[in-house]
Amino acid sequence: MRQLGAKRVLFATDMTMEGGVGKILAAELTHEQREDIFWRNTAAILERRSA
């Protein structure tokens, strides 16, 4: 995260959903960074594709 930044990370997991989400929630991130990872970054990609 320190090298890439939250704006360049998408959430995905091959673990249980609880385990994957738990890792993001346990990380030292702001609420805004978590929102970016969980859904905003994906939404931005989809918006660019439909434009």
Residue 39 pLDDT greater than 90, yes or no:
yes
Terminal-to-terminal C-alpha distance of the chain: 29
Residue 51 pLDDT greater than 80, yes or no:
no
Condensed to tens digits (0 to 9), the pLDDT of residues 14-38 reads 999 999 999 999 999 999 999 999 9
In the chain the beta strands, taken as DSSP E runs, fall at: none
Q: According to the model, what pLDDT value does residue 50 have?
A: 83
The answer to whether 3 touches 37, Cβ cutoff 8 Å, is: no
Residue 2 confidence class, pLDDT cut points 50, 70, 90: confident
Angstrom distance (rounded) from CA 35 to CA 12: 13
Tell me which H or E stretch contains 3. none
